[in-house]
Structure 1
Amino acid sequence: MNPHSDTLTTADGRTALRMVRRLAHPPGKVWAAITDPARIGQWFPSEVAVDLTPGGAMTFFMPGVSGPAMTGTVTDVDPPRLFAFTWGEDHLSWEITPDGEGSLLTLVHTFGDRFGGASFASGWHLCLTGLSQLLDGDAPAVQPDTGELHEAYLEQFDLGRGVVEDTADGPRIRFERQLVRPAEAVWAELTEGREPVTGTPAPKGFTAEGAPAGPVSEVRAPTTLAYACPPGGTVRWELGSGTGHGARLVLTRTGPPGFDTDAALAAWHDRIEHLAARLMDG
């Protein structure tokens, strides 16, 4: 199961992850494994109850999560070819086509959070590995991703790239990147034991080449730090919840009209990727 055969495309604010796997089993056997709740629960990340009719209800019981279960609706049922359903605001389509004595299984997961694409891809990669093991007659035994698979997908899908935005106050560069460690671990790496204090220079970990450490204007550990960036502008770090894989970093750097956005994009890309590598090492 080669992650490099998987694709991520975005259009009209929605992103589609497409993953294709060849399985050495006929369509009917694959169909049973992806629609029978007793089998789904062995490779899918939750227990499932399903009314296998178009418009039927689906309920997802996530292990270790209290409170109401997630719900969805079956949108397509065409055995043994097509099974599709909603999962919250997402849509999942499973299509099975004959391929010799086996089958091709195509999963298309459509969602709104483009920057979560690597998390979804790495999660589905493991699920599909477990599904293959189940079909082969083995008990699914898949080790959780420690981050390497996530980072491989993030690089493949080019999800670490920053953008330049025009604002009323001048140009702004923006990066949004899913990380694989929680905010507390990211904050510890950035501060290196020196907690930021308003009015004092930002710790070196929060800076990049061409972005000198001006005075901190806002700090809320372990989620937010902003500081002035001479000769004009502001750098702001925000760590949110993301996909649950780890913290979601949003970094912005504003500057005066005419500041070198190309150089800033390159410098901050290098800084963020260095941070991601350090978090993996840790």
Structure 2
Amino acid sequence: MNENLTLHPDGRTTLRMQRRLPHPPAKVWRAITEPQHLAHWFPAEVTIDGDRIGYGEGPDGRITEMNPPHVFAHTWQDDELRWEIHPDGEGSILTLTHTFPDRHGAASFASGWHTCILALLASLDGRSTAPYATVQPADFARIHEDYIAILGLDPVAAADDTAVRLERQLARPADEIWHLLHGGDATPGTPPPAAFTAPGVQPGPVTRTETGKLLEYDTPGGSVRWELAQGTGQGARLVITHSGADTSTVHAWRVHVAEVAATVAG
């Protein structure tokens, strides 16, 4: 599979994924546009009524292009999905472009679509398919971390002479991450657990904690704030803000965030 990201001036991001399927375009077209076939691999319960497309919950989307058996495009909340099918010998080239506002969620989207396309291929082959929800967390976490590397998702969202801010989608829920990092050992007035520090950062006492959500501590020149919030897909979004820092700390935090992600992925 070929994957890449495009960042747009308006802040939106497009994920492009492509795979060759050993099935003719007409058969692939039915699999991606007919609800009875979508039920075998798509991550939501789809209904289609005219140019409206429903996903079982949340607002309906709108079909923006339908050109059988080549192009099927539709919206899903704030996202845009475009499926293109091109003949390739006796098979097809399937290209998915997914445009969304959350760049840091790209690895979660890619992991999900990777899993779905495997189920799509199994369905086309006539093999049994496992629902998206049955994928084991450890397997999904490993795929997610692979896509972080493939897509080049650097966690540094901002860095200047007064602060460093890193944002990174993780592959586990916040409560599991908090436990793995020993967040429960943090108490105001005492040093933070080692997992919440980075080489070269001199941690002062913890100033605030919220279980599974937040940990703050002082440093000689400012403060460090860890936040675990709702992320894209099955995991939490980690945001680390180190105020009073400078750009020399970026590398240390980048390496440490990669180590945390590896610990979370298991």
The question of a shared fold, defined as TM-score above 0.5 by the shorter chain, is answered with yes
What is the letter of the counterpart of residue 40 of structure 2?
A: Q
Q: What is the distance in 2 between the residues matched to 1:28 and 1:218?
A: 59
Q: Does 1:117 align with 2:106?
A: yes
1:42-53 matched pairs, under 5 angstroms: 42-51=40-49, 53=50
Quick one: which of 247, 250, 257 aligns to 1:261?
A: 247
8 Å Cα contact 1:164-1:261 kept in structure 2: no
Q: Does 1:224 align with 2:214?
A: yes
1:32 aligned counterpart, secondary structure: helix
Structure with greater contact order relative to length (CA < 8 Å, sep ≥ 6): 2
Q: Does 1:158 align with 2:158?
A: no
What is the letter of the counterpart of residue 90 of structure 2?
A: E
Quick one: which of 245, 254, 257 aligns to 1:272?
A: 257
Structure 1 unaligned runs (5+)?
62-67
Deviations 1:111-131 (A, max 9, x none): 001000000001001111111
Deviations 1:2-24 (A, max 9, x none): 3xx21112112111010111111
1:239 aligned counterpart, secondary structure: strand
Tell me the matched-pair count. Answer: 260
Offset, 1:83: 0.5
8 Å Cα contact 2:172-2:235 kept in structure 1: yes
Structure 1 length-normalised TM: 0.87
Offset, 1:205: 1.9
1:180-199 matched pairs, under 5 angstroms: 180-191=171-182, 194=185, 196-199=186-189
Q: What is the distance in 1 between the residues matched to 2:87 and 2:199?
A: 54
Offset, 1:146: 3.3
1:213 aligns with: 203
Q: What is the distance in 1 between the residues matched to 2:151 and 2:121?
A: 24
Q: What is the distance in 1 between the residues matched to 2:183 and 2:80?
A: 41
What is the letter of the counterpart of residue 36 of structure 1?
A: E
Q: What is the distance in 2 between the residues matched to 1:18 and 1:280?
A: 24
Q: What is the distance in 2 between the residues matched to 1:221 and 1:69?
A: 30
Deviations 1:89-147 (A, max 9, x none): 00000011111111111100000010000000010011111111111122223762331
8 Å Cα contact 1:90-1:110 kept in structure 2: yes
2:54 aligns with: 59
Larger mean Cα displacement after TM superposition, 72-81 or 137-146: 137-146
Structure 2 unaligned runs (5+)?
none
Offset, 1:193: 5.1
Structure 2 length-normalised TM: 0.92
Quick one: which of 30, 33, 43 aligns to 1:32?
A: 30
Runs of 4+ in structure 1 over 4 Å off: none
8 Å Cα contact 1:164-1:171 kept in structure 2: no
8 Å Cα contact 1:203-1:213 kept in structure 2: no
Q: What is the distance in 2 between the residues matched to 1:128 and 1:149?
A: 13
1:7 aligns with: 4
